[in-house]
Every structure is written in structure tokens, then in C-alpha cells.
Structure 1
Amino acid sequence: MNHETPLSPRPLHHLAEAPRRVLTTAQLREHGVPAAETAVRCRAGGPWQQLLPGVFLLHPGPPTSEERLHAVLLYAARGPLPRAATGVPTQPSAQDPHRPVYAEVMVTGLAALTLHGFATSPGLPALERIDVLVERGRRLRSAGCVRIVRAAGLPAAEAVTGLPVAPVPRALADAVAALSDAGTVRRLLTEAVRGGHCEPSAVVRELTGAGLLVRSHVVDAVGLLLAEGRALSEDRLYRMVREHGLPDPVWNVDLRLPGGPRLGGVDAYWPEQAVALELDTRAPRHGGRPDDETRHSEYARKREHLERLGITVVHVTPRKLRESPDQQATIVRTALMAATDRDPAAHVVALPR
């Protein structure tokens, strides 16, 4: 008995009619096509072709971008996982009865950024190689159009056009790791923030984890990234105050005790209510480096000092300001209204910074 052939093989026309005609050796065997017949069909001039080791395209023409993506995922994927673990449907749908399932693998790098809608990332047909992210311990090699990228732990994949795709910060880090052109790196990082794909802090965290902040052109691009993120967040803050009818504060001031030392800068201050707002656009801590710890300690000391003087400090992050401006406006309004129930704050001087 030929153990490669199932008891009830499906006819080959079933494969030819599939929306995505990319299958592995094991899948072909499940459809009643033994390895020997696959080899015959992939000969020069034959109706099929081998795209990657163990992955076949069931037509003779060039693969589409979609077929290439499915091919690299099939090459790198392990067995199926449930929806809760991958975020990608595990069962075929009525619209796509042949939807494949991929586990412990996701598209990353420039291909992932293109799928996320980055205008500065090359189109899929222009990419000679497609990066896929897998666990570090996998015994898997780059081959053909697929480049294997390894990670100690995989992030949660995002489903984009039905495919598992790395989140933008991770995809950016993997793309930047393979790029040496400073202009390209700068444009990609800028679009990530300007296009609302993610917060600068998330990008810096991934770049730091990948050990990329030792490259001068990446450090320069990160500086521009943080400045861009700061400007966008300030604009959202101005818009929040205006659109939610909050009293006008004094903007971007240094607080000082009369004739005394500087207490620190804040992004907005309501003198009558002694409420200060701080927009936290600091980069995340980078593995406990001393300069990072110093900056965070100084921030905590400043906030504690202001609160001891009776000044309420409202802490707002760029992500909260972008995703829930209504909630942040309510928090500020509540702090302003609560001022009448507090003991009078120490008098401080607000000077432009």
C-alpha cells in the first residue's frame, strides 16, 4: 500500500480551481498527489513549479504577490493554532474555502510595513525577499525569496488581509536592521508616527531591544522621530482643550517659587486652579541604563515636589491622547473642578520656557 496516497483522494481539478494555488508537499499528499507525481509536474515546461523547498505553485506563470506571501508563510509555518493564539481564523470561510492557516510565523520587515499601508515602503512586487519572523530555536534556513528573522519571543500577530503580520514597531525594527540608507530609515520612522501607526516610544523600545541604537544613522532618525511625535502630541493637546471647551491654560511654562528655584517645566498650567498637565513623550527605559534611570528619577521628583506644594499634576501619554481624547479631557476637567475642595496651593510663578 502506498502510504502517501489517502483513501479518498480529491481530483486535481479541485486544486486548479483553488483561489490560491500554493500548497506544500504534505498538502498535496493529502489531496492524493504523491511526491513523484509532483516532481513530474514541476519539470521544465510542466504545469507546476517549485517556489521554495516543499512549497509548490500550481500554475506555470509568475506568482502573484499574494501567492509569494502565502508561499513564504507555508515554508516557515508550523501546525495550526487556535484563533485565540494567532488572531488569524483557523477555519475556512464561505468566501475563501481554501484559506490556509499559519502558526508561529508572521510577515515582518518591509513586506509587513507595505501590508500595514506604508507609502514609503516598496511595493510587494519590488521586494526580492520577504522577511518572516519565527522563534529563535527553529531549525529553519532562509531560502529563495524568504529571509528568516528570529526572535526570542514572538509578538502577537495582527491579521492583515487574512495574513499574520508583525505589529508596526516590530516590523520597523526588522526592516531597519537590514537597511543602511539613512534617508530610507528616516522616512520609515517618520511615517510610522505621522501616519498614526504607532507611538514613538514603542518604536524606540523595539529598536533598543534589537540593539540598533548603536548605529549613528538610526540614532539620528530616532531623534527626528521623537521630535515629530512630540509636535503631533502637542497639536492633539491644543485641539483637546479647544474642542472640549476647557479653560485656556498657559502653555509650555517653567514653574518657580517666587525668588526661589526652578520647579520644572509643564506643558499646560491653570494658575487659578493650580493644575499642571504633563505630556509624557519620554522614550522608554532602555534596559536600565544609568542615563535613563536618571531621567525617570528626575521626572518622579519633580512631580512629587509639585504635589507637595498643592499643585495637581495630570499625566497624559501620547497614546491616551490619540486614542481617548474625550476621557483625557474629562480627567483634566475633574481636576479643575476639584480645586475648590483643596487647600490653597503655594504661589508659584509661571515663566515661558
Structure 2
Amino acid sequence: MTHEAPLTPPTPRRPEAAPAAPRVTTLLALRAEGVPAATTRRRCRPGGPWQMPLPGVVLLHPGPPDGHELLHAALLYTGGAEAGSVITGLAALAVQGVTSAGAPDAARRVDVLVPHTRRLRSLARVRVLRTARPPRPRRIAGLPVAPAARALADALAHLEEPAALRRPLEEAVRLGLCAPRAVVAELEQTGRLDEPPVARAVEGLLAAARPAAEELLFHMVRQGTLPDPCWNVGLWLPDGPFLGDVDAYWPESSVAVRLDTRLPRQRGAAPTPDEAEATRREQTLRGLGVTVVRITPRALHASWRRQANAVRAALRAGATRPGTDWVVVLPR
């Protein structure tokens, strides 16, 4: 891992503010304002000043709807936030600043989560996803959207080709909108995590998350004023077995840091042979006096200062113990 200057975690791009008065409404709302349904329908005829892109939803101009109007129309068709409707999938990612998810347009569907008790059907550009696990929505640009991890899982669960979600997956993680483990946890709920295409997409997500986590680890060391470690090294016994790879190592204090980007095991699942071997090697390192500090990318995003303090405490404790001069440090 090579670096020229300390980096800070990227700040998610904020979507533009919602228009003050969206030009989309409903037949019922217009009727409440005194506009008869017959008048509304007449104005929505071809060539008229209004249009009806979805049943009961009225666009108050004749031109093509923009992305924000499409999302409002989808919400109004499904009953709105008051009825528990939440935008999810690629549209929710786009609202949260994931540019590779693509902006909503007339050629793409908008996924909307609704309570499982609702009896709505998908129609035109709106795909209705009934759920017994409604997420706590984020309110962005006046729209209730699913958190990025849930939006990614919903998008992945309904794409014919999961590989198409690789770039949005990588971008959402890079922007710090979600942690890979949160996406995996959501995918476990869909029951599709064991499908080969989905598993490959998740493996790609974990691989994509590592460079961003490494940059944040470097930032933690520099900004936390920690001593310079040996970066990305392997630990060995002299003329002996391999003890394991670590992301940072301080030989003077025998402290190692490992970024924990492994795919979480499902509850009750036995460890794989690779996991069992990694655990055995880590236990050997600890037995030799090496302090191994595991840090998840999520913990780094949440508070790199807290993680820096934990490493600093380990370095201080290690300085008071006998050294482990028999551990050989080699580039990996």
C-alpha cells in the first residue's frame, strides 16, 4: 500500500434540494381544492396542459417529467410516506448521491417498498415491493428513501444480472454511505446470498471496500499521530512457518493491525477451512506476544479517532513487554 499524502474519507455528494412546489399531485388533492375530476381528466387528454402518468396521479404540465417528479409520482401512486411507502433500489441510491446508479428517467423503473399488507400492483414505471421489514427511511430532498445498504440489497435482489450493480456497490461504500457488512446483512434477509451471481457481487463489494478502508487506516495513523508502522507485511518465524499477513505492524511494540473485511458467517455456520487456518495463525501470533488489533471498515468510518486511541493503548502496553525479535517481517 503506497501513499503520498494523508486522505480523509470522502464526503457523500448531497443531492440538489427538492423544488419548493413539486408539479405533481393527485386527483383527490385537486378535487379537495375544488377541481372536478372531469375537468382534471379533460386537461390530461393528449395535447392538454396536464398529464396522468399513473392512475390518480397528475403532472401539472405537458412536458416530460423530471427525475424528482417521477419519484414523487411513484410515491403518490403507492400512498406516500404516510402510508409507509419508501423509495428503494437504484432510485434511492441516486437520491443519496450515487451517480453510477443513474438518474431516474422515463425509461427506468422506480422501486417502492410498501407494507406487506398493502394490495398494490406494479404498474408502468413503478415496481411495488411488499415487505414485512420496512426500513427507517432517510428524508432527502423531500423524499423518503431507504438507507443505502437496504437500497443496494433491494436492487441486487431484483436485477437479472447482479454484476450490473458492481459500480453502485463500490461507489456507495467509497462514499461512506454504508459498510459492506450492512449490505451482507440485508442480503441475508432476501435469501439470495448463496446464489452464485449474488455471492460474486458481494465478493466484489468486499474487494472494492478494502482500498477505501486502507486509505482510511493510513489517515488514522497520520492524523492520530501514531508512529509509522510497516505497511502491508507478512509475519514469519525464522526458517519457520508463515504466521499471517497484517495491514500494519509496529515491531518495537509487537502490535499488528488487521482490517477485518471478511464476509460474516451466517449464524450457526461452521468456519471454512481458510477461516479456521486464519484463526489458528492469529492465536499463534498472540501466543508469541504479538498484539493483534482487528478493525472493521465500519468502525473506522464511525470514529477513526477511537480506533487510533485503541491502537495507541496497545502500543503503550507493548512497549512495556519483552520484544518479539524472533518474528521476521517481510513485504507481502
Partner of 1:118: 98
Bigger CA radius of gyration: 1
| Aligned amino acid, residue 117 of structure 1 | G
Structure 1 runs not aligned, ≥5 long: 1-17, 79-100
1:350 corresponds to 2:318: no
Give 1:21-170 correspondences, 5 Å limit: 21-77=23-79, 102-125=82-105, 127-170=107-150
Conservation of the 8 A alpha-carbon contact between 1:169 and 1:203: yes
Give 1:1-353 correspondences, 5 Å limit: 19-77=21-79, 102-125=82-105, 127-181=107-161, 184-255=164-235, 263-291=243-271, 306-307=285-286, 309-341=288-320, 344=322, 348-352=326-330, 353=332
**What is the deviation of 1:308?**
5.3
Conservation of the 8 A alpha-carbon contact between 2:237 and 2:328: no
* Counterpart Cα distance in 1 of 2:22 and 2:220: 47
| Aligned amino acid, residue 206 of structure 1 | E
Q: Greater CA deviation, 300-309 or 136-145?
A: 300-309
**What is the deviation of 1:132?**
0.8
RMSD of the TM alignment (CA)? 3.2
| Aligned amino acid, residue 313 of structure 1 | V
Local SS of the residue matching 1:188? helix
Question: C-alpha deviations, 1:201-226, integer Å up to 9, x for none?
Answer: 22333333323334444333332322
* Counterpart Cα distance in 1 of 2:268 and 2:146: 26
| Aligned amino acid, residue 31 of structure 2 | R
* Counterpart Cα distance in 2 of 1:198 and 1:295: 26
* Counterpart Cα distance in 2 of 1:155 and 1:348: 52
TM-score, normalisation: structure 1: 0.74
* Counterpart Cα distance in 1 of 2:34 and 2:253: 77
* Counterpart Cα distance in 1 of 2:115 and 2:271: 32
Conservation of the 8 A alpha-carbon contact between 1:73 and 1:102: no
**What is the deviation of 1:110?**
1.8
| Aligned amino acid, residue 306 of structure 2 | Q
Higher relative contact order, chain-length normalized (CA < 8 Å, sep 6+): 2
**What is the deviation of 1:265?**
3.8
* Counterpart Cα distance in 1 of 2:295 and 2:254: 17
Q: Greater CA deviation, 248-257 or 294-303?
A: 294-303
Conservation of the 8 A alpha-carbon contact between 1:200 and 1:226: yes
* Counterpart Cα distance in 2 of 1:254 and 1:275: 13
* Counterpart Cα distance in 2 of 1:126 and 1:51: 10
What is the aligned residue count?
312
The 1:56–1:288 alpha-carbon spacing in structure 2 relative to 1, beyond 3 Å, is farther
Local SS of the residue matching 1:141? coil
* Counterpart Cα distance in 2 of 1:349 and 1:306: 9
Local SS of the residue matching 1:131? strand
Q: Greater CA deviation, 138-147 or 26-35?
A: 26-35
**What is the deviation of 1:153?**
0.6
| Aligned amino acid, residue 328 of structure 2 | A
Give percent identity, aligned residues only. 51
Conservation of the 8 A alpha-carbon contact between 1:102 and 1:164: no
Q: Greater CA deviation, 283-292 or 108-117?
A: 283-292
The 1:44–1:264 alpha-carbon spacing in structure 2 relative to 1, beyond 3 Å, is closer
* Counterpart Cα distance in 1 of 2:120 and 2:191: 23
TM-score, normalisation: structure 2: 0.78
Question: C-alpha deviations, 1:277-327, integer Å up to 9, x for none?
Answer: 2211112233543346x7767666665665455443322111222343233
The 1:223–1:324 alpha-carbon spacing in structure 2 relative to 1, beyond 3 Å, is same
Local SS of the residue matching 2:99? coil
**What is the deviation of 1:339?**
2.9
* Counterpart Cα distance in 2 of 1:296 and 1:152: 34
The 1:288–1:36 alpha-carbon spacing in structure 2 relative to 1, beyond 3 Å, is farther
* Counterpart Cα distance in 2 of 1:303 and 1:291: 15
| Aligned amino acid, residue 28 of structure 2 | A
Conservation of the 8 A alpha-carbon contact between 2:113 and 2:128: yes
Conservation of the 8 A alpha-carbon contact between 1:74 and 1:102: no
| Aligned amino acid, residue 23 of structure 1 | T
The 1:201–1:227 alpha-carbon spacing in structure 2 relative to 1, beyond 3 Å, is same
| Aligned amino acid, residue 49 of structure 1 | Q
Conservation of the 8 A alpha-carbon contact between 2:249 and 2:255: yes
Conservation of the 8 A alpha-carbon contact between 1:256 and 1:263: yes
* Counterpart Cα distance in 2 of 1:252 and 1:128: 43
* Counterpart Cα distance in 2 of 1:59 and 1:250: 63
Structure 2 runs not aligned, ≥5 long: 1-19
